[in-house]
Structure 1
Amino acid sequence: MRTSFGPLVGLALTLMSTPAFAQDETPAVTISGGATLVSDYRFRGISQTDKDFAVQGTFTVSHKSGFYATVWGSSIDDYIAAGSDQEIDLIAGFKKTFSGTTVDVGVLYYYYPGSSKIVPGTNSDFVEPYIGISHTFGPVTGKVSAAYAPKSKALSIGAGKEDNLYVAFDLSGGIPNTPLSLSAHLGHSYGPSYLTIGKGYTDWNVGATYTWKNLILGVSYVDTNKALFSPSGKNISKGGIVGSVGVAF
């Protein structure tokens, strides 16, 4: 699941300083999105692009009730999903904030068009329900989350249908009076399944972003405690620097 941290503190201050009648003017539906170029697409610490560049895009429609729907996509290498060269995530969820605590629940469908190019009959698609609970502490937001993919053939590594559980803890926050934000992530994948390729493993990263108008520049260090090699011989789980440049609307 791809998660972004918004400026929750700034939003709270805005709401506090807005007259009560202005709440009626809040649009029922909002639309947001963006596009990003990354030097390496890492999913839970593992490179999905053989440590090469990826182009990504997202589009979200949100209702003021808390319901939302998102489409997220990225280019990938063909070793990820039996020949598919793209990943498309279809997401539906509900998010609500109570006294600084935000609860986010939903389901994510991983769709890999053309995933049977290498192995005919292969279906790499799978579903993953998720839940996340975050809370703001001044300028810092902490979040705990879990995502569980039920047993399916797409997650099998040869032992029939298999499932996967991923739990994570994130910290993020903006540096006051600057366009800089910092983040840290720690996650663990419980295996075995296709998402772990054997035993479970831990991934982590630390990063920073710089925002100028609608432009977002990012850099992070991503690493795992796993050794996993792609068909080209690259260790796609080894630590490395990932850079990104994106635009949001």
Structure 2
Amino acid sequence: MKTVHLAIAAFSLATSATAWSQAPAPAAASAHTLSGNLTLASDYRFRGFTQTAYKPSLQGGIDFSHTSGFYLGNWNSNVEQSLYRGASLEMDFYGGYKFSAGPLNVDVGGIYYLYPSDDTGGLGKVDHAELYLGAGWSLFSAKLYYGLTNFFGLGDGAPGNTKGNYYVDLAATYDLGGGWTVSGHYGYQYVKNGTDFGLQDDDVSDYKLAVTKDLSGWLLGAALVATSDKDFFTTGVSAPKAGGKTRLVLSVGKTF
């Protein structure tokens, strides 16, 4: 019996060694990454101001990235039609390059905001293009967006224009552990010649304090959003009201 056992053991060892030697090598990690995201929020705030007249929004997109640092993406959300000449959908297309420069993580690229509509205003669609340059270090990040077109249609069909508008985004994020994260944000929007086209001022600031919780891959969020001038932009509905009221925005999202 011992001889039989030894023979079986020897055979098992030999076949195991053969199988091991013939096992395919682990596949190399892909240089490409493709991911999607979906979020349901109680309001869609863009630079502090509601885009949905303080109503819920459904948002989603897809992102492609390469280990070289290049990336492309698309993000979409419903919006209030009266804000964008009949458009009920915002579609953002962006691309850029991320790299390290010493202690800084740098991000440079461009974004195009597209609002498909029937052009109810007779002035063309409200599309907008921006270039951006950002940098992050430790908990902190800063990003500058520079507008190449009229600021979301402001100034279309008029002698002047609002090209050269820009936005500064400053933020800090801290990981509390256990899936909890807190963050703070300050933004400054400058609209060139804004007062010439009905704005009370050429600039406005927005603020945000937020907390998120990662719950088994679902990201729950709560953010207190405020602006320096709640009347700077209106909601765009038939009876316009201030679009920058201080409100708590709740959200739940998933990346897949």
TM-score, structure 1 as length reference: 0.82
Number of paired residues?
219
Q: For 1:5-56, what per-residue CA distance to the aligned partner results, in whole angstroms no more than 9, with x for missing partners?
A: xxxxxxxxxxxxxxxxxxx943210011210001010000010000000000
Q: Which residue of 2 aligns with 1:113?
A: 116
Q: For 1:162-219, what per-residue CA distance to the aligned partner results, in whole angstroms no more than 9, with x for missing partners?
A: 121101210012113x11001100010012467x962210001000000012201000
Query: What SS class does the counterpart of residue 230 from structure 2 fall into?
Result: coil
Q: Kindly indicate whether the alpha-carbon contact (under 8 Å) linking 2:131 and 2:147 is maintained by their aligned counterparts in 1.
A: yes
Q: Which residue of 1 aligns with 2:230?
A: 227
Q: Kindly indicate whether the alpha-carbon contact (under 8 Å) linking 1:150 and 1:162 is maintained by their aligned counterparts in 2.
A: no
Q: Kindly indicate whether the alpha-carbon contact (under 8 Å) linking 2:128 and 2:149 is maintained by their aligned counterparts in 1.
A: no
Q: Which residue of 2 aligns with 1:130?
A: 132
Q: Kindly indicate whether the alpha-carbon contact (under 8 Å) linking 1:74 and 1:87 is maintained by their aligned counterparts in 2.
A: yes
Compute the displacement of 1:160 (Å). 2.4
Compute the displacement of 1:155 (Å). 3.4
Query: What SS class does the counterpart of residue 185 from structure 1 fall into?
Result: strand
Q: Which residue of 1 aligns with 2:175?
A: 174
User: What runs of 5+ residues in structure 1 fail to find an aligned partner?
Assistant: 1-23
Task: Give the CA RMSD over aligned residues.
Answer: 2.0
Give the direction of change, closer, same or farther, for the CA distance of 1:115–1:172 in structure 2 (3 Å limit): farther
Q: Which residue of 2 aligns with 1:19?
A: none
Q: For 1:59-99, what per-residue CA distance to the aligned partner results, in whole angstroms no more than 9, with x for missing partners?
A: 00001100000000000001221110010000011011345
Q: Kindly indicate whether the alpha-carbon contact (under 8 Å) linking 1:169 and 1:185 is maintained by their aligned counterparts in 2.
A: yes
Cα distance between partner residues in 1 of 2:198 and 2:168? 17
Cα distance between partner residues in 2 of 1:180 and 1:127? 34
Cα distance between partner residues in 2 of 1:236 and 1:90? 25
TM-score, structure 2 as length reference: 0.80
Q: Kindly indicate whether the alpha-carbon contact (under 8 Å) linking 1:155 and 1:193 is maintained by their aligned counterparts in 2.
A: no
Give the direction of change, closer, same or farther, for the CA distance of 1:130–1:214 in structure 2 (3 Å limit): same
Q: Kindly indicate whether the alpha-carbon contact (under 8 Å) linking 2:116 and 2:125 is maintained by their aligned counterparts in 1.
A: no
User: What runs of 5+ residues in structure 2 fail to find an aligned partner?
Assistant: 1-26
Select 1:245's aligned residue among 217, 231, 252: 252
Q: Kindly indicate whether the alpha-carbon contact (under 8 Å) linking 1:179 and 1:210 is maintained by their aligned counterparts in 2.
A: yes
Q: Kindly indicate whether the alpha-carbon contact (under 8 Å) linking 1:81 and 1:115 is maintained by their aligned counterparts in 2.
A: no
Cα distance between partner residues in 2 of 1:33 and 1:234? 34
Q: Kindly indicate whether the alpha-carbon contact (under 8 Å) linking 1:115 and 1:124 is maintained by their aligned counterparts in 2.
A: no
Query: What SS class does the counterpart of residue 83 from structure 2 fall into?
Result: coil
Greater share of strand: 1
Matched, 1:191 2:191: yes
The 5 A counterparts of 1:55-94 are 55-94=58-97
